[in-house]
Amino acid sequence: MITLGIETSCDETSAAIVENGKNILSAKIFSQVDIHKRFGGVVPEVASRNHALKIRPVVEEVINNANISINDIDLIGVTNSPGLIGALFVGVSFAKGLSYSLKKPLIPVNHLAAHILSGEIENEELTPPYMALVISGGHTHLFNVSKSYSFTLISKTIDDALGETFDKVSKTLGFGYPGGPEIEKKASFGDETKIDYPIPMKNELNFSFSGLKTSVINSYNLEKYTKEDISASFQKTAVDTVIHKIRLASKIQKFSKLVVAGGVACNGYLRRRLQNELKNIKVFFPSKGLCTDNGIMVAYTAHKMFNKRIFMDFSSKALDRDESIKLF
Ligand code: KG4
Ligand code: ZN
């Protein structure tokens, strides 16, 4: 079965052709990072317009590179929420048009579900039930994923997402966008013990990063520390926080498998520490190319939902109201 996956929820126009769920025939990500860089972050209207320009060439490219004809597509999956509404509209409208003209089924894919399931693509061992932490530019959400793929939200950030915090710290320090890779690079030259930033809400499962962000800005304004030391100390505290919350969650509800996905899961320092320090939990990471937004994870999730007749219920408790806008 050949699945086309389409992802346009933020600033990456991406598509992939995947055979039988996991066999990747082709994949393409057109990143708009260079376009948004000069604004210091993603501008929604600019993102939508660039998706509109790129969606057709990107889909044509993956079809050509997979050496298939458009009529060979059996199934289409598209991210329908959460994300930037105008950006989502481009992918969903395109996918709907294609589905209608090819007379092939169309599966709406939740972006968080796709990030979570991306961990399964290269890890046979990762089968539900498991815990899933999505750490990206828009989310810091911990889910329990049941055997039948029902998602229960365990905790989330009450203010800034982790990726957003990396981006804002990077902006303060005068580095580029996106901030995560820049901070990680600079942190490798710094002393992580130099500044002792606080972990807020230690007894609560929910995350909060805005206090850490403010502490970083304050320490920068003191003009006492190097940018490398600030980056390293910030990154250490961010990862300390993640480890602390996972440990807290595991005390309340025992689990042995955890998948960590989303853009921040690209961070090598975070990967090393989670794998070394979470002793009784097997931690899975998708490869770095699957952590940031991509069409492969959408195709894989759509195929799984269609084949196993899984209805992933993200509608009720699992998501905030503003995130559950439905384009289907
Ligand atoms: O999943 P993603 O591509 O898009 C969203 O759905 O948000 O995540 C993007 C986020 C950005 O905030 C970026 O700074 C962060 O992931 N990120 C990183 C790293 N690479 C990307 N954060 C920390 N360390 C990294 N190496
Ligand atoms: Zn994402």
The token pair at 256 is 């042995």
Ligand 2 centroid to residue 286 C-alpha, Å: 13
Pocket residue to mutate for ligand 1, from 11, 166, 175, most atoms within 8 A of Cβ: 166
Does 313 have pLDDT greater than 90?
no
- Residue-wise pLDDT for 110-128, tens only, equals 999 999 999 999 999 999 9
pTM of the model: 0.92
The token pair at 33 is 């990072």
Tell me the percentage of the chain whose pLDDT exceeds 90.
Answer: 85
pLDDT: is 310 or 240 the higher one? 240
Which residues are CB-contacts of 270 (< 8 A; sequence separation ≥ 6)? Answer: 235, 238, 239, 242, 260, 264
Contact 81, 325 (CB under 8 A): yes
Does 143 have pLDDT greater than 90?
yes
Residue 324: which pLDDT band, with cuts at 50, 70 and 90? very low
The token pair at 21 is 């769920």
* CB distance 40 to ligand 1 below 6 Å: no
Q: Is the peptide bond before 108 cis (omega within 30 degrees of 0)?
A: no
Return the ligand number nearest the Cα of 291. Answer: 1
Does 41 have pLDDT greater than 90?
no
Classified as helix, coil or strand, 156 is: strand
Q: What is the mean pLDDT of residues 15-31?
A: 97
Q: Specify the DSSP class assigned to residue 157.
A: B
pLDDT at res. 311: 66
Return the ligand number nearest the Cα of 170. Answer: 1
Residue 200: which pLDDT band, with cuts at 50, 70 and 90? confident
Q: What is the mean pLDDT of residues 102-115?
A: 94
* CB distance 83 to ligand 1 below 6 Å: no
pLDDT at res. 315: 47
Residue 40: which pLDDT band, with cuts at 50, 70 and 90? confident
- Residue-wise pLDDT for 208-239, tens only, equals 999 999 999 999 999 999 999 999 999 999 99
The token pair at 134 is 């999505």
